[in-house]
Amino acid sequence: MTLDVTQIPVLSDNYVYLLRDRDSAKTAVVDPAVAGPVLKLLNERDWQLDYILNTHHHGDHVGGNRELKAATGCCIVGPAADRDRIPLIDQAVGDGDTFSLGDSRAKIFDVPGHTRGHIAYWFENDDALFCGDTLFSMGCGRLFEGTPAQMLTSLGKLRRLPDDTRVYCAHEYTETNGNFALTVEPANPDLQRRMEEVRELRARNAPTVPSTLGVERRTNPFLRPDSPEIRQSVGLVNASDVDVFAEVRRRKDSY
């Protein structure tokens, strides 16, 4: 592993991630909602920002682009499918492409659903997934611009990654997500144990992110439309995975 990750809490519940390749000293920031905390940390560490990595166009993910670009001259990388909505984008990437931060290399996944042009960055050798608002700890993003089928396909790409993959999502939504998950799969022992951990962490204002993909496969209802208990809970025992997913997402939207 050559990638160091620093988590920066901003706004009310966002996480921005500062990435540093140890060997090359190349530095990137993922989804900078605001510029100030990023610039402060760069100054404290005497680091130069080389890249911004955007997952999608929402303001709480690209809001710092212009100020960071003006201050550092960094290259802005973002989704090719949504390049018209990424401020000052320099490098457009899409499904199957790779991005190199020095010796740390990320594979790009197109993961539409939350937005039409959402992408995720998977640094395979560092067990690190930066998935924006597609996959959350025990949750997934709202379907603002995509369909349930699109989102389930997108989550399926991420679901297949190794168990040890750390899930660096962009928001601290875990406790609420977990409370909802218990409404559709209350007898899941992995979910029960995870929620005990989450409540203890949040009681002392500690982050619950990153999770791991192994934990998510066992506890996240949006990765588990084949769960018999979830199907029974939502009254869709014999339905398709897409229909079960859509109903779970509908219930979460009004939770």
- Distance in angstroms (rounded) separating the CA atoms of residues 186 and 170: 26
Is residue 58 annotated as a catalytic residue, yes or no?
A: yes
**Confidence grade of residue 1 (pLDDT, cut at 50, 70, 90):** confident
Is residue 13 annotated as a catalytic residue, yes or no?
A: no
Total tally of structural domains belonging to the chain: 1
- Distance in angstroms (rounded) separating the CA atoms of residues 89 and 83: 7
Is residue 61 annotated as a catalytic residue, yes or no?
A: yes
Say whether pLDDT at 168 is over 90: yes
Is residue 57 annotated as a catalytic residue, yes or no?
A: no
pLDDT at 57: 98
Q: Share the mean pLDDT of the chain.
A: 98
- Given the residues 21, 118, 127, 171, select the one marked as catalytic: 171
Tell me the pLDDT tens digit for each residue of 83-104.
999 999 999 999 999 999 999 9
- Given the residues 31, 50, 60, 126, select the one marked as catalytic: 60
Is residue 171 annotated as a catalytic residue, yes or no?
A: yes
Tell me the pLDDT tens digit for each residue of 205-251.
999 999 999 999 999 999 999 999 999 999 999 999 999 999 999 99
- We report the CATH number of the domain holding residue 118 as 3.60.15.10
Tell me the mean pLDDT in the region 130-137.
Answer: 98
Is residue 118 annotated as a catalytic residue, yes or no?
A: no
Domain span holding position 249: 3-253
- Given the residues 114, 118, 126, 127, select the one marked as catalytic: 114
Beta strands in 67-196 (DSSP E): 75-79, 91-93, 98-101, 104-110, 119-123, 128-132, 135-136, 139-140, 166-169
- Given the residues 58, 82, 118, 126, select the one marked as catalytic: 58
